[in-house]
Every structure is written in C-alpha cells, then in structure tokens.
Amino acid sequence: MLHLILFGPPGAGKGTQAQLLGTQFGLIHISTGDLLRSELANRTELGLEAKRFMDRGELVPDETVISMIMNRIHQMSETGGVIYDGFPRTIPQAEALDRILKSEHEKISALISLEVPHNELVKRLMLRGETSGRSDDRNISVIENRIKVYQEKTKPLIDYYNQQQKYHTVDGTGTIEQISQRLTNLVKKIKNQN
C-alpha cells in the first residue's frame, strides 16, 4: 500500500493537490485540517480545545492529532493507500505514525515537499482568507506566525525523512495543473519503486 505525505508550509497547495492525487491513484486523503474543522463544526470538546491553538496560528498538540489519525487509519478497509495532508507536523508525530503503520505491517513510502517562496505563500493565504472565510487566513500576523511555526517545528521533518531516503521536492509554483503534473510524474516513480 502507498503511504504518501504531502508536505509544505501553509498555503503551499497541499489540500488541492492531495485531493487530485487521491482521485488519480485511488488514495484516501487524510487531512488533519479537515478532521479538526469537522470537530470544530460539530462543537466537540476536541474541536473547542483545538480552536484555541488554531486561532493563535499554533500547532494542535500531538496527542490530539495522533488519536484522530489513528482512528481514521483503523477505519480504512481496502484502498490503494493514503495521502497524508498536514500530518505529521513534528518529529514525535512522525515517530508515532511509523509505530502505527508498523503495527499494520505498513510504512511511509515518501514525503513530498511542495516548494513555494514566502511571498507567494502569504499572497495565497490572504486570497484564501477572502474567499474561504477561514479566520486563520485573514490576519497577516497569524499567517506570519503559522509560517514561522512551520519553519521551527515542522521543517525538521525533512531531515527525519531524508535520512530514510524518502524525501522528495516538487516545485509548488505555477498553475494547479502544472503542479499536479509534476506530482503525478513523481508519484508514478515512487509507486514503481514500492
């Protein structure tokens, strides 16, 4: 089974591209953002707890995210694999995911990083804030903090997966179709190696 992590800073286009790849390769798209927003919409205890962190542009605690992902993985039946969007975000999350997958006799196939310049990220997030209604995409200081948190806490995952020879980069600029084509070409190569 294919297990892909689509990686990159806020605004890199992970959600859009994960959905396209999921459809094309028959992968289940697991988005921690979607899982958290669902909890928020249902006003669950978990959702309200997560909201406090999200409103400040901070990461939701590992334990909360890991239990959501574990529940989702255990719900899966026959599938071509999984594309993780927004998870893992920290080394402890990556280690926990490795343990979960090992218990299912699975492993991460690759981490694919969408590379996008800082100014483009800010522009995309502000535009998304205008069109989506997401409060965390409307405030420039929250956006800058989210990018800073990514640099400090999430970017170290590059070394973690690079040491396992599972780290790949893709140019995340251009049209959705251009980026999608680059990702498709890479995923085909990864799939052939698995």
* Contact indicator for 90, 33 with CB cutoff of 8 Å: no
Q: Mark whether 43 is an active-site residue.
A: no
Residue 157 belongs to some domain of the structure = yes
Alpha helix stretches (DSSP H) within the chain: 14-25, 32-41, 45-54, 62-75, 91-103, 118-132, 140-149, 157-162, 176-193
34, 100, 154, 182 from 88: Cα distances, Å: 14, 12, 8, 22
- d(CA 136, CA 117) in angstroms, rounded, equals 20
Two structure tokens written together for 44: 């669950």
Residue type at position 139: N
If one counts the domains in the chain, the total is: 1
In this structure, is residue 75 part of a structural domain? yes
Q: What letter would DSSP give residue 135?
A: G
- Which residue among the candidates 51, 72, 102, 128 is catalytic per the annotation? 128
Q: Specify the DSSP class assigned to residue 151.
A: I
pLDDT in tens, the chain (194 residues): 899 999 999 999 999 999 999 999 999 888 887 888 787 888 888 788 888 887 887 878 888 787 777 777 776 666 778 999 988 988 998 998 999 889 888 899 999 999 999 999 999 999 988 888 777 778 889 899 989 988 888 889 999 999 999 999 999 999 999 999 999 999 999 999 87
**What's residue 65's pLDDT?**
81
Instruction: Return the pLDDT at 177.
Output: 97
Residue 156 resides in a domain: yes
Q: What is the pLDDT of residue 77?
A: 62
Q: At CB < 8 A and 24+ separation, what contacts does 101-104 make?
A: 101/3, 101/73, 104/73
Question: Which one of 37, 51, 107, 134 is the catalytic residue?
Answer: 134
Q: What's the pLDDT score for residue 52? A: 85
For residues 23, 24, 29, 34, the Cα torsion angle rounded to the nearest 10 degrees is -50
Q: Annotated catalytic, 14?
A: yes
Query: Which single residue is written with the structure tokens 């502000």?
Result: 126
Indicate which residue of 89, 124, 166, 182 is catalytic.
Answer: 89
Catalytic residue among 14, 124, 166, 182: 14
d(CA 130, CA 84): 26
Residue 144 sits in a domain of what CATH number? 3.40.50.300
Beta carbons of 36 and 47 less than 8 angstroms apart? yes
pTM of full prediction above 0.75: yes
User: Sheet of 167-171: strands edge to edge?
Assistant: 28-31, 81-85, 2-7, 110-115, 167-171
Catalytic-residue membership of 37: no
Residue 194 is assigned to a structural domain of this protein: no
Look up the domain containing 146 and give its range. Answer: 2-184
Q: Is residue 19 part of a domain?
A: yes
The answer to whether 99 is a known catalytic residue is no
